[in-house]
Amino acid sequence: MGCFLKKFDNFLNRTFYRLGYMIACHFGYFIIVPIFLTAILATGFQNIRYEDDPEYLFSPTTGFARRERAIIEENFFLNFSSDFHPSRMTRLGRFARLIIMARDEGTILRTDVWEDIKKLDTLVQAVSLELDDRTLTFKDVCAIWDKKCYENTVLDLYDLMPEVEAKELNLTYPFMLNPKTFEPFLFSHYMGGVNVTDYNVMESAKALSIFYWLKNNNEREDNEAAMWEEQLLKAMEDLEFETITVARFVSHTLETELENNTNSVVPFFGVTITIMLLFSVGSVMMGDWVRTKPWLGFIGVVSAALSCCAAFGFLIYLGVEFIGINMAAPFLMLGIGIDDSFVMLAAWRRTKIQDSVPDRMAQTFADAAVSVTITSITDMISFFIGAITPFPCVQIFCLYTGTAVLTTYLWHITFFGGCMALSGYMEKGQRHGFTCQKIKAKSETVNENYCYRVFCTGGISEQDPHNPMDNKPHALMAFFRDYVARFLNIPAIKALVVMVFLIYLLVACWGCTMVKEGLERRRLSRDDSYSVDFYDREDKYFREFPYRIQVFNPLFFLILSLLILPLFSVLCGIT
């Protein structure tokens, strides 16, 4: 195995040695071609297909739920325009949901609280929108049951609340019938934070949840429902009541907040790129104004940006969906790209300044390109392995990021390599690192003024290329070589480093035991979003009975069909 790795390493060294030499001889092609390819591939953004459906992105493609729901929807169509009922739903569709609490955070089983709840319901049903010379209200877009809008039957408690508050009527949890209309009250569905007596009589309730279901049988109804939801959100922005507070949520809230969360980082792109540019340019500066490489520091950032554009455009052309989390990939590529730039510049500075540019480029690539290749391959493998997971959001992100790592590597070997060769020729011609003007070596400017010697000198003298004054190493590289390396070789320091690392490893292992599985939905929204209050209330008061489970007993239905139903027909005189 060791022999194979050595041969492989030698093969890479020879290959990149030749590549570096070729790039130095034909640097123009290696600069122009990547730019040309980026311009072509970036046109793929005009075909971008943005995906923001949380259910699709965060649910596994191999899960049984997807297949089972498809079977149900194929055989049992749910018509929102007639005979709608929430218990028959397999997906949420369009809706609005409100969670109501008393302003003093006390019980909502009070008459004054229900006065405001009734006002709220009236205001919601009065929300309207103008569309194609039509005025649409809730009654025009609502889901239909028994030829009228599906109602929140729990609101009928408004008429009973004086008796409840006077202790003349007990509310039985979790279910009871309206003593006036005999409609069922399923309190476990509507009420949260409930306290009951030993006889299941409700003493108090902290929150009330009500739904407003909307039609979405076709595209037109879906668009009308979506616009009505927007109008409802606008109507409730500044809505206040004396005794209640309201948290709101609509069907597209999660998608909208995911997009807003993504868009919130866009303004930071400029700040981040500026900081990275300053860091990159500052890190490659040195006192020798010929050997300093500020433009290469800038090119390192540009190369990472170009490679991201090319990778994203290429995948969009292939029809891969684009998701918001992909916006994190450019930040990762900036880090990887700048790191590769520093590795290659460090290798360049280890070469002899007296050698020709092709020889220096060949040595640089033989030294640095191998390590850059290995790290890029490991990064690509890591991301492409993630692309085979069953979660679409992870698949898409890993596919985009893995492809971006590949293009970043290729662009750094070609585009950045070509720019480095051009910079090498500038260095060979005694050109100033910033202005590109020809300047003298330090050993030739002893009699010049101070400012000229500080800002306008560098490189080596043609008459004396080995003059020690012109061949000083990079100060930062010399510091790590002469001081940091020597300090780390002290036995006591070695022991201390090992101990600190072991402590770090133990703390990391302990931290792994504290990992909590699951996803907090409030983390998907911005801190100033209206949905955060809704998520907090739902998690606190409506997580005791979060799921509806249906149990099918074949024996029961056999007895029902063979014995009970025929007997019932005989008793009722039905033939």
Selection from 206, 117, 106, 192 nearest residue 161 by Cα: 117
Which is the CATH superfamily of the domain at 2-54+262-439?
Multidrug efflux transporter AcrB transmembrane domain (1.20.1640.10)
Q: How many residues does the chain have?
A: 575
**Structure confidence at residue 575 (pLDDT):** 44
- The pair of structure tokens assigned to 498 is 């090992």
Tell me what pLDDT residue 470 has.
66
d(CA 495, CA 486): 15
Please state, in angstroms and rounded to a whole number, the distance separating the CA atoms of residues 293 and 282. Answer: 9
DSSP string, 258-294: HHHHHHTTHHHHHHHHHHHHHHHHHHT--S-TTT--H
Domain ranges, ordered by start, for the chain: 2-54+262-439, 93-250
Radius of gyration of the chain (CA): 35
Those residues with Cβ within 8 angstroms of residue 556's Cβ, 6 or more apart along the chain or in another chain: none
Cβ neighbours, 10 Å, residue 359: 16
Report the pLDDT value the prediction gives residue 76, as an integer from 0 to 100. Answer: 77
Query: Which residue from 213, 96, 211 is spatially nearest to 148, judged by alpha carbons?
Result: 213
- Tell me, what's the pLDDT at 96? 92
**pLDDT under 70: residue ranges of the chain:** 1-2, 470, 474, 518, 545-575
**Residue 142, token pair as written in the block:** 């609502």
Q: Which residue is listed with tokens 């790795």?
A: 5
Task: Report the C-alpha gap between 451 and 541 in whole angstroms.
Answer: 72
Neighbours of 21 (CB within 10 A): 21
The C-alpha atoms of residue 81 and residue 92 are separated, in whole angstroms, by: 15
In this predicted structure, what is the pLDDT of residue 479? Answer: 82
Is residue 307 a contact partner of residue 246, using CB atoms and an 8 Å limit? no
State pTM to two decimals. Answer: 0.76
